[in-house]
Amino acid sequence: MDTNKILIAADGSENADRAIDYVTDILQGAAGFHIKLLSIEHLPDRDFFADDTAWKEACVKNREELIAFLAHGKERLTKSGIPEKQVQTDYVESCHSPLAEKPDYCSRGTSIALDILHVAKTQGFKTVVIGRRGVSKAEEFMFGSVSNRIIHAGSECTIWVVQ
Amino acid sequence: MTDTVKQILDRLYPDGYMGRFGKVYTDTSDFMRITGGDVIILAGEHYLVLRDEMERSFGVEDPKYWVKRCRHLESGERRILKLVFYETFSLSMGEMKIPCYRSPRKEARILDLVRNDPRFMQGFPAADEAGNNVRVLYVVQGKRLDNWIDDLDVDHPTYFQTHLPGILEKFIVSCQAINDLHKMGEKHGDIRRDHLWVAYESGNYVWIDFDYTFSFHENPFGLDIFGLGGLLLYIVGKGFYSHEEVRQLIDRNRKIPALEPEDFLLVFKNRLANLQKIFPYIPDALNQMLLHFSSGSRVYYETMDEFLQDLTTCLKQVK
C-alpha cells in the first residue's frame, strides 16, 4: 500500500488550516512523503447575484482566495522541511465555472466529498486528511458534512479527520 | 406620450370600478411606491394594481410590498406580479439559522422549466423597462393543503381510513414534482405547509413560491427533503402535536404514552414525529418514515428517490 502519498483537503477554512498544521507537525519534515493540497472549486450560487457580471466577479475572487490559500499551505509545509518538489497543489474547477478552462476532471457541485475521493483514487493517494467543521446532528441532516461523507464513502483509503 | 391610468381604464376596463386613479409604471424598481390604482406595463400588457399581497401568520397580516395583486386588463383575469426584491435573511429552523436569499432569477428560471406542468404554479418572467425580472403569476384557484385537511371535520381514525390514502396518493405526485426539479438541478427552496395548494377544479396539489434559495454544498436538497418530511408529518397526523396537544388528545380512559425527546422532530423539537405512540394503527413503515426526521434517527434521507420509494410502499399499506 502506497502510504506515503497524502492528500489534504484545503477549502480555505480554519479547519483546513488545522489539517495542514497537523500534517506539518506529524511529518516533522520527514523525507519520502508526497503531499497534495487539494481545493475543490465551489462556486458562489449564481442566484445570489443580480446579474452574471457580479457573479463572475465573485467567482474570480473566490478562485484567487483559494489559490492563495493553497500557495500559503504549500509554503508552510516546505518551511517545515518537506522538499518543495514533494508538495503539490491542485485546484479542481467547477464544471459550471464561468472561468473554466475545460479541465480533464471538473466538480459537478453535488458532493465535495466525492470529488476529493475521486482525486484520491485516480491519483493513488492512500491517506486523505480533512479538518472537521464540527456540525450538530441537525446541521448534518440539513447541510451535509464533507468529513462525515468522506468517512462513510472513503473505503479505499485511510482518513485522518483533524479536530 | 404614455396614457394616464384613467385613459387606460376607459379603454380596457370601462365597467370596472376604481376608487383611485394612480400612476403608470414601466419601471418597477421603486416597488414601495406602487400601490392600488396604479397600472404596471410589462411587455405591452397592462396590470391594474389592486393591493399588496399579505402574508398571514399567527393572526397578523404582514404586507409583502414587492408582491402585487393585479388585474390583467387585456384579459380581465387576476394576476400576481412579483417585483424584484433582493433579500438576504436568516430562516429559523428550530434553533438553527439558515442564510437564505430571495432570487427573482431562480423563480423566473423555474417558471420556464415547469411551464404547463400542473404540479406547479404557472406564470412567466417579463422584464420591465429598467430590466427588472418581474414574474407574472396566474392565481392558483384553490386552498392551502393544510387548511383543507384541517377543515375535514372527522376524528383521526376516520381521517386515516377514509381520507389519508387519497391525500398520500396526491402528495406522492407532488413529491415526484420536487424530485423532477432536483433532477434538473433546481430546488424548491421553501417547502412548507402554506406552499402546497389544492386546486379547486382538479383537486390536484400545486406547489407555489420558489424564489427562495440557499447554498448547502454537501447536501444541496436537504432543506427541501426536510420540508417534505414536515409536510408528511402534518398530513399523516392531521396536524402537529406538541406535548400539550398529546395530553389533550388522549381521552381520560387512555394513559398518556411516555414521550422521549427522540420521539420529536430533529429540528422542531416540540412536534411529535413518533405518531404511532398516539395513533397505534399507523403502520410501522409509515411511522419509520416519520422517525427518519426525528431526533432519534441515525439515518436521514439524502435523495428524493429514497424518500419516494419508501412513501410508495407506505401508500400500499394504508390503502
Residue B256 has pLDDT above 90, yes or no: no
Give domain status of residue B98, yes or no. no
Give domain status of residue B113, yes or no. no
CATH class of A5-162: alpha beta
Would an 8 Å CB–CB cutoff place B95 in contact with chain A? yes
pLDDT in tens, B34-90: 999 999 999 999 999 999 998 776 667 789 999 999 999 999 999 999 999 988 888
Q: Check residue B73 and give its pLDDT.
A: 96
A146 neighbourhood in chain B, CB within 8 Å: 217-218
Pairing of strands B96-102, B212-213: antiparallel
Domain residue ranges in chain A: 5-162
Note the ipTM here.
Answer: 0.73
Q: Provide the 3-class DSSP secondary structure of residue A32.
A: coil
Give residue B49's domain range: 5-83+121-138
Q: Does B226 lie in the same domain as B157?
A: yes
d(CA B173, CA B177): 6
Q: Does B9 lie in the same domain as B146?
A: no
| Cβ–Cβ < 8 Å for A114, A150 | no
Q: Do B86 and A50 touch (CB under 8 A)?
A: yes
Share of chain B above pLDDT 90, in %: 76
Give domain status of residue B95, yes or no. no
| Cβ–Cβ < 8 Å for A119, A129 | no
Q: Does B169 lie in the same domain as B44?
A: no
Would an 8 Å CB–CB cutoff place B222 in contact with chain A? yes
pLDDT in tens, B128-168: 999 999 999 999 999 999 999 999 999 999 999 999 999 99
Longest dimension (CA), chain A: 50
Burial B238-273 (b: 16+ CB within 10 A, else e): bbbbeeebbeebeeeeeeeeebeeebbbbbbeebbb
B103 neighbourhood in chain A, CB within 8 Å: 47-48
| Cβ–Cβ < 8 Å for B137, B123 | yes
pLDDT under 70 in chain A at which residues?
A: 1-2, 102
Question: 448547502: which residue's cell?
Answer: B216
Q: Do B215 and A144 touch (CB under 8 A)?
A: no
Give whichever of B14-18, B133-137, B223-227, B267-271 has the largest mean pLDDT.
B133-137
Side-chain half-sphere of B84: how many Cα atoms within 13 Å? 22
Q: Provide the 3-class DSSP secondary structure of residue A134.
A: coil
Q: Strands, DSSP E only, in B162-291?
A: 196-199, 205-207, 212-213
Residues B173-189, mean pLDDT to the nearest whole number? 95
* Alpha-helical regions (H) of A84-157: 112-123, 137-143, 146-153
Q: Does B184 lie in the same domain as B133?
A: no
